[in-house]
Homo-oligomer: A and B are copies of this chain.
Amino acid sequence: MTSKRKPLRSDMGSSDATRIRVQGMDLMHDIMGKLNLGDFAFLEIQGRLPTPSESAVFNAMLATLVEHGMTPMAIATRLTYLGAPESLQGAVASGLLGMGTTFAGTSEGSARLLQEALTNDMSTPSDDELTALADSLVKKLRETRQPIPGVGHHLHKPVDPRATRLFEIAEKHGLNGRYVRLMQEVASAAERALNKPGQLPVNATGAIGALSSEMGIPWRLCRGLAVIGRSVGLVGHIAEEIRNPIARDVWEQIEADASSHVQW
């Protein structure tokens, strides 16, 4: 039964009595005291250290994903912490599970759109080529009744200030390449196609999808950036919940409301 197994292999990390190696590097000497958590996340995902420019942009991307106030995820985490305060990991997990298609799927979607469109043939596209490509992408999405990922925002109007800031940081560090350009063209094409001039700018998830693509992060991992950022934020909500507990009041208000029609 055990004779002909294909050997499993992982290169993430290994240890012996005196050494700990992570991604081929010495944890104590190469990482601790040298890499901040965002840079370590880049190393874990990409298998190499970020350049200083990548470090700046990547940490800024993660920063947009940490905290959005009392989201459904934060409420779920607080309610779960109320029930199982001895299992902080469960409270964080409970909130992370809400990072699905409704809230976290769009950076994945925009990264996929960009990465599947800009194949190797399109390594140095002209402006006209990008405009034409964006028009054709938007047309195809509309024909198949799919949403256009990464553009517009229900609250942040007329522009999403996070996208503006992310592109500004990317430009400063020379990471505003063809994916950023295509994402902006997609937004313009969407505005033309839907006749909503100036109303569908690139949003934060579109910017993150574009910048992930610039750094070579596969679209399948974009949701992972949101999960990393939000796990930080959800631990923050538990910290506030410990200082100022509100979960029991949340529960009691909702329960009272939801059963106020009950006649005994």
Contacts and interface: CB of A to CB of B under 8 A. Distances in A.
Interface string A82-117: 111111111111111111111110000000000000
| Residue among A8, A17, A37, A66 facing the most chain B CB atoms (10 A cut-off) | A37
B39 A36 contact: yes
A257 interface: yes
A20 B161 contact: yes
A43 B15 CA distance: 32
A11 B87 contact: no
A165 B33 contact: yes
A251 B72 contact: yes
Contacts of A19: 161, 264
Contacts of A11: 240
Interface in A29-45: 29, 31-33, 35-41, 43-45
B68 A84 contact: no
Interface in A160-195: 161-162, 164-166, 169
Interface string A40-82: 1101111100000001100110111011111111111001101
Contact of A257 (B1, B32, B93, B166): B1
A84 B100 contact: yes
Contacts of A38: 36-38
A224 B218 contact: no
Contact of A235 (B83, B227, B232, B261): B227
A140 interface: no
Contact of A224 (B21, B27, B238): B238
A258 B8 contact: yes
Interface string A119-137: 0000000000000000000
B32 A246 contact: no
Interface in A227-264: 227-229, 231-233, 235-240, 242, 244, 246-247, 249-251, 253-262, 264
Contacts of A69: 10, 12-15, 255, 258-259
A235 B104 CA distance: 15
A187 to B, nearest CB: 18
B12 A67 contact: yes
Interface of A: 1-2, 5-23, 27-29, 31-33, 35-41, 43-47, 55-56, 59-60, 62-64, 66-76, 79-80, 82-104, 155-157, 161-162, 164-166, 169, 218, 220-221, 223-229, 231-233, 235-240, 242, 244, 246-247, 249-251, 253-262, 264
